[in-house]
């Protein structure tokens, strides 16, 4: 990871998003869909992003990149 070290030696010079986009095929992180997870029972539901999207206030919305965080981050570390 030295190639990604910031010039001042503190942190990285790339964002998490940039690292994921460089390391994985787009189908793992790029989508017009998001995932809604119910805060009460953990059930999941795909939702198409864009105009007219109906988001349930009792559900947390995640992008595909956010939803796959544990899978993607383990793969690059």
Higher pLDDT, 77 or 46: 46
pLDDT above 70 for 76: no
The pLDDT value recorded for residue 37 is: 92
Cα–Cα distance, 49 to 62 (Å, whole number): 11
The pLDDT value recorded for residue 44 is: 92
Cα–Cα distance, 74 to 51 (Å, whole number): 33
The pLDDT value recorded for residue 53 is: 61
Please choose, from the candidates 70, 58, 57, the residue with its C-alpha nearest in 3D space to the C-alpha of residue 20.
70
| pLDDT tens sequence across 5-60 | 788 878 888 888 898 898 888 988 898 888 889 989 999 988 887 655 666 778 88
| 34 touches 64 (CB < 8 A) | yes
Pairing of strands 33-38, 59-63: antiparallel
Binned at pLDDT 50, 70 and 90, residue 73 comes out as low
């Amino acid at each position: 990871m030295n190639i990604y070290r910031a010039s001042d030696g503190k942190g990285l010079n790339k964002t998490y998003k940039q690292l994921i986009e460089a390391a994985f095929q787009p189908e793992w992180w790029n989508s017009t869909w998001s995932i809604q997870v119910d805060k009460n029972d953990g059930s999941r539901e795909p939702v198409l992003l864009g105009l007219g999207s109906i988001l349930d206030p009792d559900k947390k919305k995640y992008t595909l990149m956010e939803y796959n965080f544990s899978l993607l981050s383990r793969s690059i570390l």
